[in-house]
Chain A
Amino acid sequence: MIATHGLEYRYPGGALLAFPDVNVSQGGVLLLRGRSGVGKSTWLSLAAGLRSPSGGELVVAGQSLAALSAVQRDAWRARHIGFLPQQLHLSEALTVAGNLGLAYFAAGLPEDRAAIQRALAALGVAELAARKPRQLSGGQAQRVALARAVLLQPKVILADEPTASLDDDAARDALALLQAAAQQAGATLVIATHDARVRQALPAATVLDLDAQNEPQALSNMRKKL
């Protein structure tokens, strides 16, 4: 589960982002909607314990993040958060299996080869274990990245724009896969997206719409970029 109350984040530059309260039960789906620059990434990094909020409360998977030190937060993230970045970020220096092994390395756990094979098999990419990421198609790479995200049976899966640059069929498949993986792990699924198709595909999901809340912020950001 994820619950926030009066969550705020102030950038070092001084800009303040305020987020609407949200409450998602364990195993639920949360859609984080909004145009780029409205704070979706910031919300994700707050939920992952990569940044500390400047105000408000944040409870993720039953853990109040404010109660943890930086080192504890790293260890906590390793065990309870699965992450599917938009760029996937599979390391070219390693094989597919090696990339999954990184999750164990990061968590400081002994590598469990059998679990890696199981995770890859569950997503139908077991035969790709020995390949390098550049030898994978886009869809295969996303499955591998997803396998890495669910490898340690996280309580929360954070997916950043999982349907960006996918056609309708592929986007539908990706969402189905993501949902199935989250269900299998019993994890709360958080999808940050500005893609309307995601909303349509997941009618039951809780929606956190950041557009309304941080409109002035987004505009000022855009003006800055221009």
Chain B
Amino acid sequence: MKTIALSWRYLVSRPLAAGLNLLLLSLGLAAITFVLLTRAQIDRAFERDLAGIDAVVGAKGSPMQLILAGVFHLDVPPGNIPLTAVQALARDPRVAQLIPLSLGDSFQGFRIVGTTPDYLRHYGAQLAQGQPWQAPMEVVLGAQVAQATGLQPGRAFAGAHGLGGGGATHAAHPYRVVGVLAPCNCVLDRLVLTATESVWAVHEVAHGKADAHDDHEDAQREITLALIQYRSPLAAVSFPRFVNSMTNLQAAAPALEITRLLRMVGVGADVLRGFGAVLLLTAALSVFIALWNAVRERRADLALLRMLGASPARLAGLLLCEALWLAVLASVLGLLVGHGLTGLLGYLLQAEQSLPLTGWLWLGVEAWVPALALGVAVLAALLPALSAYRVEAGQLLSSRA
């Protein structure tokens, strides 16, 4: 009989112990898979959303808040800034590109962002349907927004005041959908995009200001923040310092803040990874004890195999194979559960329009999960296999038990 088939028979002959070991091993591996997947996707999402943004300029306040609000659209912005000040910065020779963003309203929890077409070009967004906005009050929907709200080009809706949803609606100033973006796996997926002028139109009229659009108005007009790309990396040294000390604005470097953030989030990931490691260690111990007991319980079986002419190596191989069965099964289960958990978390976060996470992603580093399982199993089987190697068949003869 083949070693593989025979070791399987022995494994299933003790279903309780085998099941427990499988559970422990799988949980450990699932925790590690989960950490790998979420960490990689968060890193990737941050990287994608951050690409090409050297600085964010906004009102004075927490730089982290500015980045989270301006780049990832997770936090509320610190406040508004005068349009004239932003226009002055745009003329600065160190600035290659400046994208203004105006926040304040939302639709069913999705933020309505007033900006310029540069914002779409920056993320390389493609239109799936319709066309970009040509005039104020025309909007383009991110892929996730279109899917969640079911809005199509040609339909109209009214924005709600505030970013959280549930505020008073600007019913008098409906937006008209003219286009839907293709999924870009970036922050645009969960935004409603329109011209900066739309936001002014809604709020100035709503708040009783004149409808006139002459240049004098620009002096009082505001935007929320601006994304800036430098002309040369050298600007990173002087530009933020200039903005922070010489103007009433604040400049924050996303790379810096995100490093800080990931360090904080990283503690959580480390805790989870440590938890996974403890689970794995427990599993290794449990597999070890199970195999050790198996050797003791089956001493007679093993000795009999020696009697029947099996070499010690064959016995050791039998035990090793039993551990490898566990490892293979646990790898499959662990990976499945890890992906399932990530998918579940992604589903929950999607409901909150937060970070995009999916369980349908396979990473190269996941190859380490089965490798880890095999390593743990071999390690746990080593001592029992060695003791099987030493089983003295002669004692079977003298045993009178």
Contacts and interface: CB of A to CB of B under 8 A. Distances in A.
B257 to A, nearest CB: 60
A83 B300 CA distance: 14
Nearest to A160: B397
B193 to A, nearest CB: 66
Contact of B399 (A42, A83, A87, A111): A87
Interface stretch (A21-29, A44-52, A166-174, A198-206): A44-52
A111 B1 contact: yes
Interface in A93-137: 93-94, 98, 101-108, 111
Given A50-B394, A89-B301, A92-B13, A75 B1 contact: no
B314 A89 contact: no
A15 to B, nearest CB: 14
A13 to B, nearest CB: 14
B333 interface: no
B309 A75 contact: yes
Given A36-B400, A87-B399, A111-B1, A106 B13 contact: no
A41 B397 contact: yes
Interface string B1-14: 11100100110011
A107 B309 contact: yes
Contacts of B396: 85, 87, 89
Interface string A70-83: 01001111110101
Given A45-B393, A105-B305, A71 B9 contact: no
A94 B308 contact: no
A98 B311 contact: no
B245 interface: no
Contacts of B309: 74-79, 81, 106-107
Contacts of B176: none
B306 interface: yes
- Size category, B interface: 20 to 34
A51 B394 contact: yes
B306 A50 contact: yes
Contact of B398 (A41, A78, A79, A89): A41
A64 interface: no
B314 A108 contact: yes
B314 A45 contact: no
A91 interface: yes
Contacts of B306: 50, 74, 106
Interface in B279-327: 298, 300-301, 303-311, 314
B305 A102 contact: yes
Interface of A: 36, 41-42, 44-45, 48, 50-51, 71, 74-79, 81, 83, 85-87, 89, 91-94, 98, 101-108, 111, 148, 160
21 contacts: A42-B394, A45-B394, A50-B393, A51-B394, A76-B309, A77-B307, A83-B308, A85-B304, A86-B400, A89-B303, A91-B304, A92-B13, A93-B14, A94-B13, A98-B1, A105-B6, A106-B308, A106-B314, A107-B308, A108-B314, A160-B397
Given A92-B13, A105-B3, A106-B309, 15 more contacts: A41-B394, A44-B397, A48-B307, A51-B394, A78-B309, A87-B401, A89-B396, A91-B301, A93-B298, A94-B13, A102-B304, A102-B305, A104-B1, A105-B6, A105-B314
The 3 closest A-B pairs by CB, nearest first: A78-B309, A93-B13, A106-B308
